[in-house]
């Protein structure tokens, strides 16, 4: 899998993270949450960024003043893809639990919402991507239903309702599902919870196919272009601006680990 890894700069840490990081970073440190996405053209629609609350993450030093917040496994993979100064080495400065960073404010490149919150998503897989996930509720059914759940049970999740309850703006127009593909699919398929794994997988598949092959951008500088045309352009612009980089998921790793 060839992902686009986004760089979401921390503006303000949640309190538990602040405590855990005290004294471990230089004054001028820039720390980035690094979600891995297959849909760079949807980055206009980021409303938050997800971590698995029970997953262990770390903060890794990538240069004198830059640090990444990612999973252990992603740090190891990146050490073999030239993201760190020394090949095969990934210097970790701190361990953090996903729940420690919930509420952190990050800057989201390209998004209509400049600053967004880190929120918990129980279904994030530690074994995929960077373990950090961009939340795009307009076009990802998993993200849409998770946001509904977070808004409904904000207290239970230990968040403020308004962190999750943002207006969802249309990014991509499709012939079958209109301009809020995720909402339409979740409603049509009567998906009621983020734990409805099977219908969600089906909805994701439908959303991918429709978005990629039949979608047209209805927001941003590529408005009017097909998703197929816009995707590589958005990706390259993000990379050129220093807001993203390519990250490859080694083939078959998940399979070989479980079997
Ligand atoms: C933004 C986005 C916008 C995404 C969208 C999807 C969609 P795949 O095909 O299974 O590899 N993702 C990335 N890492 C994880 C993880 N560790 N755990 C759970 N989900 C993860 O899926 C790749 C997509 O799954 C990524 O692309 C990311 O969400 C999420 F409009 O980023 B995506 C129809 C999907 N739409």
pLDDT, tens digit, for every residue of 161-183? 999 999 999 999 999 999 999 99
Best residue among 45, 140, 207, 215 to mutate for probing ligand 1's pocket (most ligand atoms within 8 Å of CB) is: 140
The SS3 assignment for 88 reads coil
Which numbered atom of ligand 1 lies nearest the CA of 136?
3
CA distance 10 to 24: 15
Q: What is the Å distance from ligand 1's center to 205 Cα?
A: 11
Instruction: Give residue 185's pLDDT.
Output: 98
pLDDT digits over 196-214, tens only?
A: 999 999 999 999 999 999 9
Q: What is the Å distance from ligand 1's center to 133 Cα?
A: 7
Instruction: Give residue 259's pLDDT.
Output: 30
- Going by C-alpha positions, the residue among 31, 11, 230 that lies closest to residue 104 is 11
Q: What is the Å distance from ligand 1's center to 194 Cα?
A: 14
CA distance 72 to 52: 13
Q: What is the Å distance from ligand 1's center to 37 Cα?
A: 6
Please indicate whether residue 42, judged by its CB atom, sits closer than 6 Å to ligand 1: yes
Instruction: Give residue 147's pLDDT.
Output: 98
Nearest CA to ligand 1 atom 19: 124
Please indicate whether residue 136, judged by its CB atom, sits closer than 6 Å to ligand 1: yes
Best residue among 4, 33, 37, 254 to mutate for probing ligand 1's pocket (most ligand atoms within 8 Å of CB) is: 37
Nearest CA to ligand 1 atom 12: 133
Please indicate whether residue 208, judged by its CB atom, sits closer than 6 Å to ligand 1: yes
Please indicate whether residue 38, judged by its CB atom, sits closer than 6 Å to ligand 1: yes
DSSP characters over 90-153: --EEEEEEHHHHTT-EEE-TT-SSSEEEEEE-TT--TTSTTSEEEE-TTT-HHHHHHHHHHHHT
Q: What is the Å distance from ligand 1's center to 95 Cα?
A: 24
> Hey, what CATH topology would domain 2-253 get?
Isoleucyl-tRNA Synthetase; domain 2 (3.90.740)
- pLDDT per residue as tens, the chain (259 positions): 899 999 999 999 999 999 999 999 999 999 999 999 999 999 999 999 999 999 999 999 999 999 999 999 999 999 999 999 999 999 999 999 999 999 999 999 999 999 999 999 999 999 999 999 999 999 999 999 999 999 999 999 999 999 999 999 999 999 999 999 999 999 999 999 999 999 999 999 999 999 999 999 999 999 999 999 999 999 999 999 999 999 998 875 554 443 3
Domain ranges within the chain, ordered by starting residue:
2-253
CA distance 115 to 109: 9
Token pair recorded at residue 211: 């978005």
- Going by C-alpha positions, the residue among 112, 109, 107 that lies closest to residue 218 is 112
Instruction: Give residue 252's pLDDT.
Output: 56
Q: What is the Å distance from ligand 1's center to 19 Cα?
A: 30
């Amino acid at each position: 899998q060839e992902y686009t890894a986004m760089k979401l700069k921390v503006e303000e840490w949640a309190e538990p993270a602040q405590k855990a990081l005290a004294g471990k970073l230089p004054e001028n440190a820039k720390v980035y949450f690094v979600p891995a996405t297959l849909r760079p053209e949807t980055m206009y629609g980021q409303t938050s960024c997800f971590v698995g609350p029970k997953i262990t993450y770390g903060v890794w030093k990538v240069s004198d003043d830059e640090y990444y917040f990612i999973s252990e496994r992603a740090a190891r993979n990146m050490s073999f893809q030239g993201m760190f100064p020394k090949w095969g080495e990934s210097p970790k400065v701190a361990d953090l639990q996903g729940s420690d960073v919930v509420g952190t404010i990050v800057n989201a490149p390209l998004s209509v919402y400049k600053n967004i919150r880190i929120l918990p998503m129980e279904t994030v897989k530690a074994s995929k991507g960077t373990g950090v996930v961009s939340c795009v509720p307009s076009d990802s059914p998993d993200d849409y239903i998770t946001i509904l759940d977070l808004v409904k049970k904000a207290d239970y999740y230990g968040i403020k309702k308004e962190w999750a309850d943002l207006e969802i703006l249309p990014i991509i127009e499709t012939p079958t599902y209109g301009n809020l593909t995720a909402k339409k699919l979740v409603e049509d398929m009567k998906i009621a919870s983020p734990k409805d794994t099977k219908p969600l997988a089906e909805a994701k598949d439908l959303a991918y196919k429709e978005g990629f092959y039949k979608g047209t951008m209805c927001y941003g500088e590529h408005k009017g272009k097909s998703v197929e045309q816009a995707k590589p352009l958005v990706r390259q612009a993000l990379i050129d601006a220093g807001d993203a980089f390519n990250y490859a998921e080694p083939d078959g790793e998940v399979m070989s680990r479980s079997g």
